[in-house]
Amino acid sequence: MTRSLQAVAYTRSSTLESAPDGRRLGLETSRGTTPRGVEDHPRFFAGFLTSPQVASAGLLAVADVAGARYYQQQLRSSLDPVVTGNGDRLRFESFSGCGGVYARLDVLTAGLDGGEVGHGTTNVDVNNPLRDALSRIGSDDPLHMRVGPDEMAVTTLDGPVVEKKVPLPDRWLRGFAEAQVTAAGFDLRAELPAAEAVRFLRSLPRSGARGSSRGVQWVVPAGRVLRPTTRPVPGAVCLPGPERLVALQRVLRHASALRVYGPALTGTAAAASAWEVVLPGMRLTLTLSPEVSRGFSGEGGVLDALATDEAAEDAELISVLLAWEPRIDVGDLSASSGLPAERVRAALVRLGTSGRVGYDTAEAAYFHRELPYDADRVERHNPRLRAARDLVGAGAVVLDGTLGTVTAQDGHAHRVRDDAGVLSCTCLWWAKYRGGRGPCKHALAVRMVRRGAVSGQAEVLVDGGAR
């Protein structure tokens, strides 16, 4: 697995301090992106929280996921959560070290009091002493939150800097991209009231508990409850690795509802799902990959968007129109850009591969953010995409109607068939996953050549005056 060393520097450690008017939570930021460009320590918010204990529990849940591995647990994981200011809310996001769980805490307008929310994205320091202090926040404790350095810290940047060297896997950044593509295909499948939500989530096995199952389970909505089922019946939702929802335990006593999102099931294969706990002025969502051993980074949902030059050009145009919106309206972008809605969506998928947009299942809409990492690595280190481009460059693809033949370096020919836009292949990858983890390199290569052939034909028509 490709890794790089990411320096995450803070002017000081995040702290929770006592004050005459309550407690003051200072969350320190690292280098990040804002509308004014890259800043060393951007400030996103300074004000009170309307539900301090709930916000503390939600932030700890996001930090729990950042420090957890639900697969190969013997390996350590420690990544600082990402925070985005969208003007009317704060979003705290993290990925598990194994890449199979995506967590997001949305602190909405109703959860913030007395402060203006800025725009931008960066890392936020959640250290062990801070975690201990947050866990002791009482229900009546007023809490003032500052995300980013205060004015005094801005004038004393020559002081001590807390720096962490974080081994950042490329799959972590790719996971952000794949998670938003996956979530965009979800619909609301069930909503449980508080009592049922607590009962259901507390009935799930914890990681490492005796008798806990790491396999795939299924649940089906029945009125206002969820009932287990042994197979994916119509209307069922996949619960892959139920012990991975353990981070939700932190906020259960504050929950007012549990919402479950997932795709329409078309077979017996495991599927991803999202589990959202509704809190006072906030939402905490965990999105689970289809299997415990299967991180989002290998799902392949973004490969088609990455493989088209058209989407790349459209993404450049759409990126100029983004303005840190908390809710991106595809219709508005279509009108502003002059592009059809389907091309806008493809451009947003491509922007998602560099961490520039995420997807909010509660609002069924994309939102703008800019991850503070080298986004170019996503495409550069995607092995299937690189392999497909190598095949195209070597002239290994021959088209014959709906059939494409791809000759590998060893001389073995693979047949790729186009059935109403759905490509299948005779290779082992397709035989194993049946398209469930995105297209294989041969299908990608055929799609690239086919699009290039259509584009070239259009150019000939124009140059030849046939139009």
Q: 335 with 446, same domain?
A: no
Instruction: Identify which of 340, 243, 258, 346 has the alpha carbon closest to the alpha carbon of residue 292.
Output: 243
Percent of the chain having pLDDT more than 70? 81
pLDDT for 1 equals: 46
Q: 96 with 55, same domain?
A: yes
Residue 57 has pLDDT above 70, yes or no: yes
Neighbours of 25 (CB within 10 A): 23
User: Which residues, in sequence order, are bridge partners of residue 3?
Assistant: 169
Q: Look up the domain containing 409 and give its range.
A: 382-464
Q: Within a domain: residue 335?
A: yes
pLDDT for 372 equals: 63
pLDDT for 454 equals: 42
Q: Within a domain: residue 460?
A: yes
Q: 289 with 405, same domain?
A: no
pLDDT for 273 equals: 95
pLDDT for 360 equals: 96
Q: Within a domain: residue 1?
A: no
What are the residues whose beta carbons fall under 8 Å from the beta carbon of 216, sequence distance 6 or more? 238, 239, 240, 241, 270, 290, 291
Q: 332 with 347, same domain?
A: yes
User: Which residues, in sequence order, are bridge partners of residue 25?
Assistant: 16, 145
Q: 337 with 449, same domain?
A: no
**What are the start-end ranges of the E strands in 153-209?**
162-169, 187-193
Q: Within a domain: residue 135?
A: yes
pLDDT for 467 equals: 28
Q: Which of 143, 170, 197 is the last residue of a domain?
A: 170
pLDDT tens per residue across span 227-275: 998 888 888 999 999 999 999 999 999 999 999 999 988 778 888 999 9
pLDDT for 137 equals: 86
pLDDT, the chain, mean: 81
Q: 367 with 389, same domain?
A: no
Q: How confident is the model at residue 373 (pLDDT cuts 50, 70, 90)?
A: low
Highest mean pLDDT among 206-220, 297-311, 420-434: 420-434
Q: Which of 296, 321, 347 is the last residue of a domain?
A: 296
> How many whole angstroms separate alpha carbon 244 and alpha carbon 262?
16
Q: Within a domain: residue 176?
A: no
Q: 309 with 389, same domain?
A: no
User: Which residues, in sequence order, are bridge partners of residue 222?
Assistant: 225
Residue 343's CATH number = 1.10.10.10
What secondary structure does DSSP assign to 362-409, as a single string?
Answer: TTTEEEE---SS-TTHHHHT-HHHHHHHHHHHTT-EEEETTEEEEE-T
> How many whole angstroms separate alpha carbon 368 and alpha carbon 358?
7
Q: Which of 327, 351, 377 is the last residue of a domain?
A: 377
24-33, 150-159, 225-234, 374-383: least confidently modelled range:
150-159
Q: 393 with 454, same domain?
A: yes
Q: Within a domain: residue 100?
A: yes
Highest mean pLDDT among 142-146, 350-354, 370-374, 451-455: 142-146
Q: Phi/psi of residue 419, each to 5°?
A: -115, 95
Q: How confident is the model at residue 448 (pLDDT cuts 50, 70, 90)?
A: confident
3-state helix, strand, coil in the chain (%, to 5): 30, 30, 35
3-state secondary structure of 170: helix
> How many whole angstroms separate alpha carbon 265 and alpha carbon 325?
31
> How many whole angstroms separate alpha carbon 160 and alpha carbon 59?
25
Higher pLDDT, 91 or 141: 91
Q: Which stretch of DSSP H or E encloses residue 413?
A: strand 413-419
Q: How confident is the model at residue 156 (pLDDT cuts 50, 70, 90)?
A: very low
Q: What angle do CA 443, 311, 356 make, to 5 degrees?
A: 110
Q: 210 with 355, same domain?
A: no
Residue 287 has pLDDT above 90, yes or no: yes
> How many whole angstroms separate alpha carbon 350 and alpha carbon 375?
11
Q: Within a domain: residue 148?
A: yes
Residue 292's CATH number = 3.10.150
How many domains does the structure of the chain reveal? 4
Cα torsion at 30, 367, 308, 388 (round to 10°)?
50
pLDDT for 365 equals: 93
pLDDT for 376 equals: 55
Q: How confident is the model at residue 192 (pLDDT cuts 50, 70, 90)?
A: very high
3-state secondary structure of 122: strand
Neighbours of 443 (CB within 10 A): 29
Q: 39 with 128, same domain?
A: yes
Rg from Cα positions in the chain: 23
Q: 211 with 288, same domain?
A: yes
The answer to whether 379 and 353 have CB atoms below 8 angstroms apart is yes
370-384 average pLDDT score: 64
Q: 350 with 215, same domain?
A: no
Neighbours of 6 (CB within 10 A): 18
Q: Within a domain: residue 417?
A: yes
